Structure 1
Amino acid sequence: MTQMRTSPDQGGRAPGRGARRTELAAFLRSRRERIGPEDVGLPPGPRRRTPGLRREEVAQLAGVGVTWYTWLEQGRPINASPQVLDAVARTLRLDPAEREHLYALAGMPPPVPADLAGGLPEDIPAILDRLAPMPAAVISARGDIVACNRAYAAVMWCLERIPPSERNTMWLLFTLPGCCNPVVNFTEQAHEVVAVFRYRYSRHMGDPGWKELVRRLCAASPEFARLWATQDVAPPRPCDKVFRHPAVGEIAMRSTSLDVTTAPELRMVVYNPLDRESADRIARLLDRSEEAAAALPDHRH
């Protein structure tokens, strides 16, 4: 098992805050100086000593206070909400990469990629389908199951019984009772699962959605609450899981996570069978889907 280290402050924040603020100040100045007043519908006015917009003009266009924006550009330790950062990003005409860079320098969780509002990046569903018979799913950093292929849905047979709002890997693992939890070796991995979750949480500490999920998990699962209180943190790594399906028995697989570069908050998790018997059992689930469905428990939670 990967060695875990105890974190003194909720998983630890990235070091070098002073250097990050210096970078933020330089980045904002450079983006401001490339935009002329005529680009945003302002009169040129008298001769300017420096190129681009003035600080007070950026503040006015973004709808924020002049003093606040000045302090932000000077790299002072002030708080910035996602809404304010978005207003500054729009005013400075930042592209998606620049907007994400702004959030990182301001010490905020990465913004949700704009292209996710309309669904997954267009190539991802086809890639998921072609990975079958290997189970695969697209999962957010928080553990929300965004999409999956038939093989994943067959192995994680509980999904069709769960409302979409609760299709979160952490929620399923810690709250589903054993009769309906497809993962049978979870107890031995729970410590590391929570440590990896904290590793991701430390990068999203300002996100209300993450805080609410942690609150709900602590309330619903004494085991999660106990492990969360240890403050342990660990980086992600490939992980062996054993699933059980009522129709075919146990399926042993190794999971590997691949970042979706066009949507930085998503990762594709692919499960590779560890032996021939497990691969054959997945094939049986896919070939005899009606028989497999008939073998499932007839109750719901």
Structure 2
Amino acid sequence: MTTEFARAVRRFRERLTPAEAGLMAGGRRRSPGLRREELGRLAGISVDYVNRLEQGRATAPSPQVVEALCRALRLDAAERENLFELAGLRAPGRGTVPGHLTPGVQRLLDRLSGTPVAVFDAAWNLLVANDLWLALAGGPPDRNVARVHFLGDVAVRVHHTAEDLAAFEAATVADLRAAAARYPADAGLRDLIAELRAASPTFAALWDCAPAGTHASSRKTVVHPQVGAMELDCDVLTVPGSDVRIVAYTAAPDSEAASRLALLEVLGVSA
């Protein structure tokens, strides 16, 4: 089974071109497929671990790793199911928060160049983010938005108006309550909610009063340590028939924020 999983990962990697994965080809290649380091980068795992997976030396990949590989390799629903089976796992069922992205959503993200954009699941766990989003966040962020907001300490500060902050917190708590009702078998979601209720009085109070709220477009001031303050519009987009949320930051054309965002794109995550 381990050998079959290794062969499948290698086969899926070799059939996916850099362009299909939203990457630049970058010089001559021995084969048209992705390099192992590119797959590792897209999946958020080390190239050493990719090597061990493809050589059959990593014998028990976690469901999270397999799901990340499915997203990075742009697998459809049937191929995703098959890769989980080859790993000796069951694909997450209806009672757990889905983390699968359709190829169409992946292609949409590929076309949003120059825009910081990320995709989150129903529990506000980060699924995938483009390079400009990572640069804006100051590097790979904590994987969960609710945990970052209510418990975290980040290098890049985001300033809201009091009204926008209250609306964001109410909507985030409402999202988690809805996700908990839809996916009662998701242990990770239960643990997240318990952690936030125990450690954040603000979250606990909101949870107990069961707020109603939705995410609306808002303007935020993002203070980046290298390029300074930027006034950016934040939009949360939903995909019909899916629980995934696409979050994008944009700047007004010809604004100072647009110039600073363009500079950040050149500097990259190292900024």
Q: Normalising by the residue count of structure 2, what TM-score does the alignment of the two structures yield?
A: 0.55
Q: Render the CA deviation track for 1:167-187: whole Å, top value 9, x for unaligned.
A: 11111122223x624323376
Q: Render the CA deviation track for 1:144-168: whole Å, top value 9, x for unaligned.
A: 11011122111111x42x5xxx411
Q: Indicate how the Cα distance of structure 1 residues 141 and 247 shifts in structure 2: closer, same or farther if over 3 A, else same.
A: same
Whose Rg is larger? 1
1:268 aligns with 2:246: yes
| Greater relative contact order, per chain length (Cα 8 Å cut-off, separation 6+) | 1
Task: Work out the CA distance in 1 between the residues paired with 2:131 and 2:110.
Answer: 8
Counterpart amino acid of residue 151 in structure 2: T
In the other structure, the counterpart of 2:256 is: 277
Q: Indicate how the Cα distance of structure 1 residues 113 and 247 shifts in structure 2: closer, same or farther if over 3 A, else same.
A: closer
Deviation at 1:188, TM superposition (A): 5.2
Matches within 5 A, 1:193-212: 193-204=168-179, 205=181, 206=184, 207-212=186-191
Unaligned runs of 5+ in 1: 1-94, 97-108, 294-301
Matches within 5 A, 1:78-227: 111=95, 116=99, 120-157=101-138, 159-160=139-140, 162=141, 166-177=142-153, 180-185=155-160, 189-204=164-179, 205=181, 206=184, 207-227=186-206
Q: Indicate how the Cα distance of structure 1 residues 277 and 145 shifts in structure 2: closer, same or farther if over 3 A, else same.
A: same
Aligned length: 176
Task: Work out the CA distance in 1 between the residues paired with 2:259 and 2:236.
Answer: 23
Q: Work out the percentage of aligned pairs sharing the same amino acid.
A: 26
Deviation at 1:112, TM superposition (A): 5.5
Give the CA RMSD over aligned residues: 3.1
Contact kept, 8 Å, 1:253 with 1:272, in 2: the verdict is yes
In the other structure, the counterpart of 2:12 is: none
Q: Normalising by the residue count of structure 1, what TM-score does the alignment of the two structures yield?
A: 0.50
Task: Work out the CA distance in 2 between the residues paired with 1:283 and 1:181.
Answer: 17
